Amino acid sequence: MVRFLVVPQWQGSPSPRAMLLVDGASAIAGDLPRAATTVLDVPVEAGEALGTGVRRLSSLRRTQELVREHSGLDTVVIGGDCSVTVAAIAALPSGTDDLAVVWCDAHPDLHTPETSPSGAFSGMALRAVLGEGEPQLVLSPGIPRDRIIAVGMRSPDEEELRELDTLTRLSVAELDRIDALADAVEATGASRVWVHIDVDVLDPAHIAGVSSAEPFGVSPATLAAAVRRLRERVPLAGATIAGFAPRTPPDAVDDLGALLRLVGAVA
């Protein structure tokens, strides 16, 4: 049975609209089955960097502890910012030796504290999944590069380009072939997969509630179809849907159709 874990964390985001992520997580939670949903009581305070290059580290660490306590197999994590995925993967009870990670995002999230212009951990989240970055937050051991599939990334910072070139990438256009994602994951040799979706991977025509919209994204229908086909061929270890930051409750309602289509694809 799929369990939903709602993690309304905002502290990993660089956006001045970061606290809207709390509202976004709550909006999605309202349409999830109550008996199968747990909403974490995450810190509301900003937190301190504790001498590191990661802003709000103390709050991020506390949220990671909570996620590890409540996550597990067959969990769909609802963020919050993208960095909630790092703790969720770390919590998998059977480890990560056979795991591939699909990272759907307009932005690569491949910074480290040394390269990040903002110090925000969400921009370091995929690099942390690789096991690199601030030791207090990264996945250990990390997922090897040949088991990472980067999907829909179209707005990298210059400092991220070298790392991005080491990963298998699927463009928005390539997702039009419904088997492209499943083929890429099967090619890794992994026997399970975690699917991470930052909703800014979607085209702005389909969703307004994101902090940093990028043009020429994928449609919800295309992404959902690709994920459903992937699940037919590779077992899902878990999934994340993150990055929903609606400006107002009516805006949240307008976007929920697209979001619930993605929820249905991963659950």
Q: Distance between CA atoms of 130 and 200, rounded to whole angstroms?
A: 21
pLDDT in tens, 230-242: 999 999 999 999 9
Q: Distance between CA atoms of 62 and 235, rounded to whole angstroms?
A: 30
Compute φ and ψ for 179, nearest 5 degrees: -90, 0
Whole-prediction pTM: 0.98
Confidence band for 1, pLDDT divided at 50, 70 and 90: confident
Domain range for 145 is 3-266
Q: What is the CATH number for 228? A: 3.40.800.10
Residue 16 scores a pLDDT above 90: yes
Confidence band for 205, pLDDT divided at 50, 70 and 90: very high
Give the pLDDT of residue 73.
81
Q: Note whether 9 and 63 are within 8 A (CB).
A: yes
**Number of compact structural domains in the chain:** 1
Structure tokens at 225: 């179809």
Structure tokens at 158: 């210059």
Q: Note whether 178 and 225 are within 8 A (CB).
A: yes
Structure tokens at 138: 């990264």
pLDDT in tens, 163-204: 999 999 999 999 999 999 999 999 999 999 999 999 999 999
Structure tokens at 81: 């910012």
Other beta carbons less than 10 A from residue 144's beta carbon: 16
Confidence band for 134, pLDDT divided at 50, 70 and 90: very high
Q: Which CA distances in Å does 101 have to 26, 151, 195, 219?
A: 26, 10, 6, 21
Give the pLDDT of residue 72.
81
- Give start and end residues of each alpha helix (H) in the chain: 20-29, 57-70, 84-90, 125-129, 161-164, 180-187, 220-233, 249-266
Residue 94 scores a pLDDT above 90: no
Mean pLDDT value of segment 88-94: 92
How many percent of the chain have pLDDT more than 90? 97
